[in-house]
Structure 1
Amino acid sequence: MKPELLSASTVQHHLIPLPGWQVEGAELVKEFRFTSYLAGIEFVRRVAVLAEEMNHHPDLLVGWRKVTVRLTTHSVGGLTLLDFSLAGQISAVEAAPSNLT
């Protein structure tokens, strides 16, 4: 079953509990900053595990001590509950302690 595309008002409602996330076009986007390059890479590894479990894969741009995450549901051409669910899980990964700083 194909996920349902969310209306603009529903998207805004689901953004409320996700500080730092923004809508850019048909994508949900957030830039995460880290104290080291390796901490960013560990974050990407942890996000990749979540993405595989959900079979919903973000675009990840790795830079020096930062990672930009872009979420969209390509099959419907926009944002769905899958994107917001994964964004919430990614935010939890960011808050979880890491031994790489």
Structure 2
Amino acid sequence: MSTPLTAKEIQDALGELQGWARDGDALAKTYVFGSFREAFGFMTRVAFEAEALNHHPEWTNVYNRVVVRLSTHDAGGKVTAKDVALAKRMERIGGVK
């Protein structure tokens, strides 16, 4: 079972994650791309990273936007280090355009 982060740990992590915010008990960000193809390509690349971490995002896609919420189910839906690690990998793959 994963351990939830403290409010300070979450704030510190958000300081390293451009465009991310706390949304209740999750980390959240909306990625905007130039086209549906770019958005879907981003999601495909993130899917491989999520699988490698065995930690999968809650996300939606409409045309060129990907809305992401990260929390950890086995920690009661709270933010854990797993969420921060996946967010950092997502940032390396692609950001807001």
TM-score, normalised to structure 1, is 0.90
Q: Which residue of 2 aligns with 1:60?
A: 59
Deviations 1:47-78 (CA, angstroms, capped at 9, x unpaired) = 11100000000011001211011110011120
Residue 59 of structure 2: SS of its match in structure 1?
strand
Residue 90 of structure 2: SS of its match in structure 1?
helix
Flag as ranges the 4+ runs of structure 1 deviating above 3 A: none
What percentage of aligned pairs have identical amino acids? Answer: 35
1:1-101 matches, within 5 Å, as 2-77=1-76, 78-94=78-94
Deviations 1:28-65 (CA, angstroms, capped at 9, x unpaired) = 11000000111000000001110000000001100121
Residue 30 of structure 1: SS of its match in structure 2?
strand
Rounded to whole Å, the distance in 2 between the matches of 1:83 and 1:48 is 14
Rounded to whole Å, the distance in 2 between the matches of 1:48 and 1:66 is 16
Deviations 1:6-29 (CA, angstroms, capped at 9, x unpaired) = 111111011101010011011111
Rounded to whole Å, the distance in 2 between the matches of 1:84 and 1:16 is 11
Rounded to whole Å, the distance in 1 between the matches of 2:67 and 2:46 is 12
Rounded to whole Å, the distance in 1 between the matches of 2:43 and 2:69 is 12
Mark the structure with the bigger radius of gyration: 1
Residue 45 of structure 1: SS of its match in structure 2?
helix
Structure 1: gaps spanning 5 or more residues: 96-101
Structure 2: gaps spanning 5 or more residues: none
Cα-Cα RMSD:
0.8
